Chain A
Amino acid sequence: MKTRRRQLIATVFVALGGIVAATPCLAADEIGPDDWLVKMASAVQTTNYEGTVIRLQNGKSDTLKVVHVVTDGVIHEKVVVQEGDGLEIIRNGNEVQCILPDKQTVRVEEWNDQSTLFSSLPSTDIQFGNEYDVSIVREERIAGRKAVLLAIRPHDEYRYGHRIWLDIATGFPLQTKLMRDDGEAIEQVKFADITLDKEIHASALAPSTSIENFRWFTQPQRKINHAVDSPWNSAELPSGFAVKSTHEEDLPGRDVPVIHILYSDGLANVSVFIEPANDKKFARRSRAGASNSYSVENDGYQVTAVGEVPAETVEKIAISMQPN
């Protein structure tokens, strides 16, 4: 029942989001945790904001100045790293420029999704079932604003938990934590200060210096082929994970396309990549921040699972993949 309710809410969140967002004066205890998720999804999609973000990971931290504006559905963002050489990342729609002012260099990339530049903010399509519990923990103050702490706790060790501090007035997430099952925070993103839904001048999104005479270089665009049927599947997926897409993908250095199967439990995502084994050495286990990978050779193929899940999860999935 709980699952059906969440899925229903997620399916119609756009419509409901508008309604909930239009009633920002509700007290935190007047709406339930599921309603907060709906409100959050709407706020993330539509809110313009400007602020200072602190990211903590592995006991290390960095500070970013962030501006985010959505105009007619097009995302415009600017992130300035406060340490180092003042690296700036500017996004206008799908084009992303990484600017190194001191070296007068710009690297251009193309992004084809709607994710934000900097954060572990939840995306707009949240649908999860009985693998997690959602609860309201307490109210706190974050970045000078009243916030409600929402806890999303997994029922097993195959996925991470989340703690989200939502602005009570708007539902916007002011702080997020990714938690291991032992309670340790893997990654934390927190606004030290933030301005929500106030007019942001276009100049706030412009590069800090003129880049007209900078040297530019580009990254090759990623090529994705059409969806395919794959004989590969797993009979031992952790509960709740299901196939979301299967397609072939051209990746650099490969003579043949790589099969890419995307699994999700609604919050956590795992990709499985399958390509003919070759003489290139893959690390069996690797990690980057909160993401882990596990690679194993199976039946003449290199099978690699990657995702923002514990190392045990990618290992379990990679090993369990078999061709029919």
Chain B
Amino acid sequence: MNDAIKTQISAFVDGELPQNEAELLLRRLCQDVELRNQAAEYLAMGRAMRGERAIVGVSMLRERVAAALDDKELQEEFAESEVAAPRFMRPLAGVAIAATVALVALIGLQQMSDVPDVETVQGGEAAAGVTDDSYTVPEPEYDPLSDYYNSHDASSAHIGFDSITPRLITYEIRDGRLVEMELTDVPAENDEQDDENEETSSADTL
């Protein structure tokens, strides 16, 4: 990526790129992963520098806390926060058209990076715990995959590269809110073929 295109992306993100150039750049963004990453990075830096605090709720974490504490008020608030409008849907009064285009591009980035038609792995419900004066100890949860992810993280942290994902697995920005990161079940297009392969593999060992 040369400096010229970086400058163009920067201008685009800042809402300073003429509309005709913005449209051309959008086409390139749709076709070029590296350009999209660069645009996303500039948008993120812009938000950081502006100190935007536009996200509502800590929904999944709240839900877990509310369940553990049996806090009805907190649970109700959590339920309300579920229907709060995403930040990108908020009115953008006075925003120049190019800036609007930039927001559209960011939404596009999010859509492109999402996995369609995924199902959430059902985790165990956090049970009300045994309470003493200062601590509430939740009953153990049975969420096998989450347990595996956490155990893997704890065991491998001293080897190789330490990914941010396990450490902040609880905290992900999604749809405009800070939520507990879900494990997503990724369906395969060729599960039937996989089954055949696995049967073959098992048969080979018998």
Name A residues whose Cβ lies closer than 8 Å to a Cβ of B. 52, 54-63, 81-85, 87, 98, 100, 103, 105, 107-108, 111-126, 128, 162, 178, 182-185, 187-190, 192, 215-220, 222, 244-245, 249, 251-253, 260, 262, 264-271, 273, 280, 282-293, 295-296, 298-299, 304, 306-308, 311, 319-320, 322
Instruction: Using A62-B173, A63-B47, A271-B151 as known contacts, list a sample of 14 further A-B pairs with CB atoms less than 8 Å apart, ordered by residue number in A.
Output: A60-B110, A82-B48, A82-B51, A87-B61, A126-B160, A188-B41, A217-B65, A253-B142, A285-B188, A286-B183, A288-B166, A306-B149, A308-B161, A311-B186
Instruction: Choose among A61, A103, A178, A271 the residue that contacts B148 (Cβ–Cβ < 8 A).
Output: A271
Q: Report if A118-B34 is in contact (Cβ < 8 Å); known contacts: A217-B135, A217-B137.
A: no
Q: 27 A-B Cβ contacts within 8 A?
A: A54-B48, A57-B172, A61-B43, A82-B48, A83-B178, A84-B55, A100-B61, A100-B65, A114-B157, A115-B157, A115-B158, A122-B161, A125-B159, A218-B138, A222-B151, A222-B154, A245-B155, A282-B145, A284-B185, A285-B185, A286-B184, A286-B185, A288-B149, A291-B163, A292-B186, A307-B156, A308-B163
Expressed in whole angstroms, the minimum distance between the Cβ of B104 and any Cβ of chain A is: 13
Residue interface mask B101-145, A partner, CB < 8 A = 1: 000001001101111000101001000010000111110111111
Which A residues lie within 8 Å of B36 (CB)? 59
The residue of chain B having its C-beta at the shortest distance from the C-beta of A244 within the complex is B159
Name B residues whose Cβ lies closer than 8 Å to a Cβ of A. 33-34, 36-37, 40-41, 43-45, 47-49, 51-58, 61-62, 65, 68-69, 74, 106, 109-110, 112-115, 119, 121, 124, 129, 134-138, 140-145, 147-152, 154-174, 177-178, 181-188, 191, 194, 197-198, 201-202, 205
A87 x B142 contact (CB < 8 A): no
Q: Report if A285-B187 is in contact (Cβ < 8 Å); known contacts: A81-B171, A118-B167.
A: yes
| Bound: A107/B21 CA distance, A | 50
Which B residues lie within 8 Å of A262 (CB)? 152, 155-156, 159
The residue of chain B having its C-beta at the shortest distance from the C-beta of A44 within the complex is B162
The residue of chain B having its C-beta at the shortest distance from the C-beta of A285 within the complex is B186
